Amino acid sequence: MSDFSQRWTTRLHQGFPLLKAMQVQLLGDQSGWQLAAPYGPNQNDHHSAFGGSISTLATIAGWLWVSELAGPGVNVVIQTGSTHFLSPLETDLIAQVCPPEASQTARFLHALQRKGRARMALEITVGDAMGQIAARFNAQYVAG
């Protein structure tokens, strides 16, 4: 486990009791990462992954991405989040942030520096370890 993974996994578990219950874990390192959660604690009563777990994993993946971009000491909150459930997921859950355009990232950092506040729209997918996508999550975060 990388230092990056260890640091974030610990922070998520200590700061968010629900993410500890979900057994959320960051896989990878700063150059490329995913958020994973095992199937067991995240199943519903119909033998597939619970929609609440899918949305929650995506919510925190986006929050973590914007928090990393904004840097330490900046508070990030979610403003809106929409999940489209595409197909049932019967395995461990993997959330992956779709990298935005470089120009969007630059605008965000510029606004944050100039106004002390900036918005970031992100798409996050949730699926299995083979890359099969079960849900798409579109969200807007505010940093400041």
Where on the chain is the footprint of a copy of itself (CB under 8 A)?
Answer: 11, 14-19, 21-22, 40-46, 50-53, 55-57, 59-60, 63, 75, 77-85
| CB closer to a copy of itself out of 14 and 132 | 14
- Residue number, 21 or 129, with CB nearest to a copy of itself: 21
Q: How far apart are the first and last CA of the chain?
A: 30
Place of tokens 């459930």: 85
**Least distance (Å) from a copy of itself to the CB of residue 15?**
3
| Closer CB to a copy of itself, 18 or 106, in the complex | 18
Phi (first) and psi of residue 88, to 5 degrees: -65, 150
Which residue type occupies 35?
A: L
CA–CA gap between residue 14 and residue 5 (Å, rounded): 14
